[in-house]
Amino acid sequence: MKRIGIDVGGTNTDAVLIDGTRVLGSVKTPTTADVMAGVRQAIRDLGAAAPLEGIDAVMIGTTHFTNAVVERARLERVAAIRIALPAARSLPPTVDWPDDLRAAVDPLSVMVAGGHEYDGRELVPLDRAAIRDAASRIRDAGITSVGITALFSPLTAACEEEAADLVRAVIPGARITLSHTLGRIGLLERENVTLLNAALQSLGLRTVAAFEEALAASGIAAPFFLTQNDGTVVLAALAAANPVHSFASGPTNSMRGAAFLSGRDGAMVVDVGGTTSDVGSLVHGFPREANNVVSIGGVRTLFRMPDLLPMALGGGTIIDPATGAIGPRSVGYRITEKALVFGGDTLTATDIAVAAGRVEIGDRDRVRHLDPAFVAAMLARIAGTVEEGVDRMKTSGTATELVAVGGGAFLIPDRLEGVSEVVRVAHAGVANALGAAMAQISGEVDQIFADLSRDAALAEAQAMAERRAVEAGAEPASLKVIEVEDIPIAYLPGGARRVRARVVGDVRERGAVAV
């Protein structure tokens, strides 16, 4: 299949064209204030490098949704319905959110009776009248995006699903996010990600429509997908319903690209961008998943996210020539204006690398005045930062391979403490776009099963994951199981166990029929 992969980062927008595993062309362009204009420019530049004919699919990774949360912008007002009374009354929805983010979302919060105990028993009967009343209040307030969270809904989703039906009866056009479809055990964290998703859904719809227009204006008529946190893609129309699944897609794309380019499926990866670097670990060729709380814009969440360590180090990182302080500020996408080697007036990490002869970018004569001892000291501090990041992400004391990718990969030295080999790859600067272009489609289940034998529970979870992958656009014959695990839950009746199953498959070709 011929595919275009596009990754919209904070500093650069990268685009690649691949045919199977062959890279036909790649470009890197500065990200513009008007993101879609930058995407169109990247496609034009890619078309100049290789003919864009017979494109089967376009895969796009974007920071739109993460940026919206961080910037407290473009968020929709939401309603929060928590089904948990008489428990969980003392901590209302968004209680732990930063004040400015809560003000941006301005939630209308309602708590009603219902939910389940930790062992699956009904806590109290669902208060249907209270939900109908809440729906009327939400409708009268002009709110159309609703997040519903019930106590222990990952054990049984009955309360959330019935509440959604009741809300739709009052607000037919409501966009409803159910917490059990996103989060895990942990009421506040699951509710948090549910409400973030609800606040982003309208932006998701606008973003998908804008990408469609950008592709159409570029003369590309092919289905397009958005990349997700787990290193896979999903049809854009489906991704718009769950924008939180694209929060960390940028560094995840880079990790998948690193696996693709290096042939490694179990190494560490450092992705050095223009503003930040991310260190992560590959497991079976996919990013290791975080099993703890992940903070998004100051909000605690617990859902499917890669285990990454961000560092304030990138090609545009600002260095103070007087004190030698490195970062955390960066010139970002203005590096071609601000860095010394491009005629600017700001000393950056890229200038240090050029002065040291690690990379040929811009005009080296503009940094020849830098003291070699100062340059060496800065390189040593950069190396120390990377060594510390790798050490924090390792799960053992043995040395590990480290694949260096990203536009600023030249900042990574060839020798690092605790690293057996720094692996350099071709096309490292556009590994993120390559990761998007070659991504597969996944189906995942993380659910409690009871009254089934272990084998039956595992088989049922795998079958559910496969169905979800096919529904998302995967070719049934290509499905492959990459993860199955189960944990017996002694405090639940019926031999209950939590089962996680994940499968991946190739993108179904246009015209193919799912079976």
What is the third-level CATH fold of 264-436?
Nucleotidyltransferase; domain 5 (3.30.420)
Q: Are 81 and 134 in contact (CB under 8 A)?
A: yes
Minimal CA–CA distance to 162: which of 83, 86, 238? 83
> Which three-class secondary structure state does DSSP give residue 27?
strand
Residue 192 pLDDT: 95
In whole angstroms, give the CA distance from residue 316 to residue 11: 9
Which pLDDT tens digit goes with each residue over 197-238?
999 999 999 989 988 888 888 888 888 899 988 888 888 888
Minimal CA–CA distance to 137: which of 161, 167, 113? 167
Q: Is the model's pLDDT at 505 over the cut of 60?
A: yes
Pairing of strands 57-62, 224-227: parallel
Which CATH code fits 74-204?
Answer: 3.40.50
Reported for 67-70, long-range contacts at CB under 8 A and 24+ positions apart, including other chains, are: 67/10, 68/200, 68/203, 69/101, 69/196, 69/200, 69/296, 69/297, 69/299, 70/297
Q: Is the model's pLDDT at 179 over the cut of 90?
A: yes
**What's the start-to-end Cα distance of the chain, in Å?**
20
Q: Is the model's pLDDT at 503 over the cut of 60?
A: yes
Q: Is the model's pLDDT at 514 over the cut of 70?
A: no
Q: Are 446 and 303 in contact (CB under 8 A)?
A: no
In whole angstroms, give the CA distance from residue 81 to residue 108: 9
- Measured CA distances, 390 to 1, 269, 286, 338, 421 (Å): 35, 9, 17, 30, 13
Give the H or E element holding residue 236. helix 236-239
What's the whole-number mean pLDDT along residues 430-458? 88
Give domain 2-69+206-263's CATH number out of 3.40.50.720, 3.30.420.40, 3.60.70.12, 3.40.50.150: 3.30.420.40
Which pLDDT tens digit goes with each residue over 367-422?
999 999 999 999 999 999 999 999 999 988 899 999 999 889 999 999 999 999 99
- Measured CA distances, 70 to 199, 210, 298, 381 (Å): 13, 21, 8, 28
**R_g of the chain, CA atoms, integer Å:** 24
The dihedral formed by the CA atoms of 326, 328, 329 and 333, expressed in degrees to the nearest 10: 100
- DSSP line for 85-137: ETSS-SS-TTTTS-HHHHHHH--EEEEEE--B-TTS-BSS---HHHHHHHHHH
Q: Is the model's pLDDT at 513 over the cut of 50?
A: no
In whole angstroms, give the CA distance from residue 30 to residue 14: 8
Minimal CA–CA distance to 111: which of 161, 155, 156, 163? 163
**Percent of the chain's residues with pLDDT above 90:** 52
Residues 6+ apart with CB under 8 A from 100: 72
SS (H, E, C) 246-294: HCCHHHHHHHHHHHHHHCCCCCEEEEECCCCEEEEEEECCEECECCCCE
What's the whole-number mean pLDDT along residues 104-131? 92
Residue 62 gets the label, from left (phi > 0), alpha (psi -120 to 50) or beta, of: beta
> Which three-class secondary structure state does DSSP give residue 406?
coil
Residues 6+ apart with CB under 8 A from 369: none
- Model confidence at 512, pLDDT cuts 50, 70, 90, reads very low
- Measured CA distances, 295 to 79, 82, 192, 199, 428 (Å): 22, 21, 10, 17, 28
Number of H helices, E strands in the chain: 13, 23
- DSSP line for 164-182: HHHHHHH-TT-EEEEGGGT
In whole angstroms, give the CA distance from residue 13 to residue 333: 10
- Model confidence at 510, pLDDT cuts 50, 70, 90, reads low
Residue 76 pLDDT: 95
Residues 6+ apart with CB under 8 A from 432: 7, 9, 14, 61, 250, 251, 253, 254, 257, 271, 405, 406
**Six-digit token pair at 197?**
């998703």
Q: Phi and psi of 236, rounded to 5°?
A: -55, -40
**Six-digit token pair at 345?**
């007036």
In whole angstroms, give the CA distance from residue 407 to residue 305: 23
What's the whole-number mean pLDDT along residues 235-248? 87
Task: Report the mean per-residue pLDDT for the chain.
Answer: 89
Q: Are 10 and 275 in contact (CB under 8 A)?
A: yes
Query: What does DSSP assign to residue 339?
Result: B
- What does the chain come to in residues? 515
